[in-house]
């Protein structure tokens, strides 16, 4: 068999050996952010009187491996942002692997009179008119619903017409709180008053 192979090779003429190589790319490492998505939730306080006194607090996600930034600012470990003027803000949340997610949050401009009235409503009108509850056709979960109901708020909470709000057996509003509502109504009953 050896002789045949040699003779075959001699008959075939010179041999040409072609060597080839191929490059095997190393697969890219898996993206550590694939499937990472945060449900960024927050609370805020509106700016009052067009001042830089609004705040944003990130409720979720939190943790010692999470950092936060507002706009193009630097990342910080705190989930609390203060001294914010009325406006639109982008909050970016980043984990230790560099994965990010964002939330857009608007700080509104509340006038000082409206801010006082909103605090009264939040303090006295739940559970009957807040958190989705509708009584007497009124719910005060939004600023628009409060502003659009200014006359009814004054009639019921200040003038007790046709009956007092909050309803009996609850105590009526204090004279000071009634005056806050009256001042807001007389100023034009707007969010910016």
- Tell me which residue range forms the domain holding 125: 111-187
Do 183 and 116 lie in one domain? The reply is: yes
Among 109, 128, 152, the domain-final residue is 109
What is the pLDDT at residue 24? 72
Do 90 and 50 lie in one domain? The reply is: yes
> Could you report the average pLDDT of every consecutive run of 10 residues in the chain (193 residues)?
43 52 75 85 92 94 94 96 96 94 95 95 91 94 94 95 90 94 96 92
End-to-end CA separation in angstroms for the chain = 107
What is the pLDDT at residue 30? 85
Among 56, 76, 109, the domain-final residue is 109
What is the pLDDT at residue 35? 81
The answer as to whether 3 is a domain residue is no
Q: How many structural domains compose the chain?
A: 2
Model confidence, pTM: 0.69
């Amino acid at each position: 068999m050896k002789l045949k192979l040699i003779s075959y090779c001699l008959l075939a003429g010179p041999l040409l050996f072609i060597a080839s190589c191929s490059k095997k790319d190393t697969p890219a490492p898996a993206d550590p952010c694939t499937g990472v998505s945060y449900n960024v939730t927050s609370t805020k306080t509106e700016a009052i009187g067009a001042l830089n006194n609004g705040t944003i607090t990130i409720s979720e996600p939190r943790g010692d491996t999470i950092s936060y930034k507002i706009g193009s600012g630097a990342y910080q470990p705190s989930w609390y942002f203060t001294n914010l003027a009325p406006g639109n803000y982008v909050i970016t949340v980043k984990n230790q692997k560099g994965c990010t997610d964002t939330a857009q949050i608007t700080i509104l401009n509340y006038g000082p009179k409206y801010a006082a009235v909103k605090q009264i409503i939040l303090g006295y009108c739940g559970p009957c008119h807040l958190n989705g509850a509708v009584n007497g056709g009124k719910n005060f979960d939004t600023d628009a619903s409060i502003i659009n109901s200014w006359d009814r708020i004054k009639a019921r909470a200040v003038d007790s017409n046709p009956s007092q709000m909050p309803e009996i057996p609850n105590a009526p509003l204090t004279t000071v709180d009634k005056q806050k509502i009256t001042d807001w109504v007389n100023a034009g009953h707007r969010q910016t008053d």
